[in-house]
Amino acid sequence: MNVEQSVFSQLISYLPIKPFRCCAEKYRGNHKVQSFSCWDQFLCMAFAQLTYRESLRDIESCLRSMQGKLYHMGIRGKVSRSTLSDANENRDWRIYAEFAQLLIHQARELYIDEDFGLELSNTVYALDSTTIDLCISLFPWALFRKKKSAIKLHTLLDLRGNIPAFIWITDGKCHDVNILDLLIPEPGSIYVMDRGYIDFDRLHDLNLAKAFFVIRAKANFKFHRLYSHTIDKATGLRCDQTVALDGFYSGNNYPDKLRRLKYFDQEQNKNLVFLSNQFELPALTICELYKLRWKVEIFFKWIKQNLRIKSFYGNSPNAVKTQIWIAISVYVLVAIVKKRLNLDISLYTFMQILSVTVFEKIPISQLVTDNSYQTYDQQNDSQLFLFDL
């Protein structure tokens, strides 16, 4: 008899349950709740993310069809779409946001020595946002355009392991540059951003905090050159300059010197201009850092394709944020399991395998090997054979 845990139970065993209960208690998530706790809600929503369920009715049907296995999966309450809908609507989304941050902290410790393409001791972040379009009649609170609603997922991605270190959810009208006010700069870290984040007052705050930034300059950037550095044009570099800002407001907002680099991108056949307050790294390394910024774009594409964050099970802000934070928790959990089990497999493939094996009683490490999994039934030697061999 196979006595192994189901794949879903094995995944859940990597979650810190006591910190989750502390988060639920902090925001009174289980206040006057008798049968369907926050933990039950989290497990049901995690199951929906792993198996790509399309609706609350879909979640209910799938879980009820496996009623005998729910207890061993950790789900104690009765699963129904109305109960799950009420939980998503009413239980504070910050429970799952704080729990996701705990998982993110664990994942970043596991991936701290991960190679991301450059030999740097600094922590490198890529900051960007993605827009998720919504129906204005169902989500009128998510302001974006006159006839369209949307939310923005602002993400600070740690390039070592592609783990999101910071996530903030806003309506579609929120400008990207405002997110810089919410960040707590880490001294010595490097923040890589696109030109939508250019605000010299906020960039100067990063500089004062002893943090570094690499950002693409706008076409109307006004400056005067102080001196130039020697470059090798065969590498694609066109200039490496120390500059100061022109203009009354720009000069007052950022009175210090900046490094300006111009690089010719052969793939796009155009010149790219970068600004940075990092003067010690080689010029080509600065350009390579900006190229790595595209990892955050790949991250957005991945979670949109593999997690349920483009269509939602509820229409309220609380339900939407709850679903997104649980989706992020699932992403980070899978990354943690992959790292702890030393699985030589892509995150995409791992998620695909998990999606069709959550109820199987097979060790997770066995799922990703080429060897077929076999169970051997114990035979009683005294049992007679019906047919002679």
Backbone angles phi, psi at 258, to 5 degrees: -130, 155
- 10, two tokens: 């094995």
Q: Which residue has the higher pLDDT, 371 or 234?
A: 234
Q: Are 157 and 164 in contact (CB under 8 A)?
A: yes
Q: How far is CA 95 from CA 35, 179, 199, 319, 325, in A?
A: 18, 22, 33, 12, 9
Under the banding of pLDDT at 50, 70 and 90, the label for residue 114 is confident
pLDDT band at 15 (very low <50, low <70, confident <90, very high): very high
Confidence of residue 72 (pLDDT cuts 50, 70, 90): confident
The residue with greater pLDDT, 93 or 344, is 93
Position 387 pLDDT exceeds 50: no
* Predicted pLDDT of residue 33: 85
**pLDDT tens digits, 257-292:** 999 999 998 888 899 999 999 999 999 999 999 999
pLDDT in tens, 169-201: 999 999 999 999 999 999 999 999 999 999 999
Average pLDDT, the chain: 89
What one-character-per-residue DSSP string does 282-326 give? Answer: -HHHHHHHHHTTHHHHHHHHHHHHHSS-SS-S--SHHHHHHHHHH
State yes or no: pLDDT of 339 exceeds 80.
yes
| Mean pLDDT in residue range 201-227 | 93
Residue 239 forms beta bridges with which residues? 262
Q: Whole-prediction pTM value? A: 0.88
Asked if the model's pLDDT at residue 377 lies above 60, the reply is no
In sequence order, which residues have a C-beta less than 8 Å from that of residue 126 and are 6 or more positions away? 156, 157, 159, 192, 193, 292, 293, 295, 296
1 vs 303, higher pLDDT: 303
Digit-coded pLDDT (tens) for 142-164: 989 888 999 999 999 999 888 99
Q: What angle do CA 332, 298, 330 make, to 5 degrees?
A: 20
Indicate the DSSP class of residue 195: G
**Average pLDDT over every residue of 227-247:** 92
pLDDT of 48 higher than 50: yes
Supply the pLDDT for residue 380: 45
Average pLDDT over residues 325-353: 92
Ramachandran quadrant class, 111 (left: phi over 0; alpha: psi -120 to 50; beta: rest):
alpha
* pLDDT given at position 127: 96
Q: 267: buried, middle or exposed (CB in 10 Å: 19+, 13-18, 0-12)?
A: exposed
pLDDT band at 370 (very low <50, low <70, confident <90, very high): low
Looking at residues 311-331, what average pLDDT do you find? 95
User: Which of 11-15, 300-304, 379-383 is predicted with the least confidence, judged by mean pLDDT?
Assistant: 379-383
Task: Report the percentage of the chain scoring pLDDT > 70.
Answer: 94
What pLDDT sits at residue 314?
A: 93
Say what the pLDDT of residue 157 is: 95
pLDDT of residue 365: 86
Question: 162: closest CA among 347, 350, 355?
Answer: 347
Q: What is the pLDDT of residue 192?
A: 96
How many C-beta atoms lie closer than 10 Å to residue 258's C-beta? 23
Q: How many whole angstroms from its chain centre is CA 354?
A: 18
Residues 302 and 294: their CA atoms lie apart, in Å, by 12
Quick check: 389 pLDDT over 50?
A: no
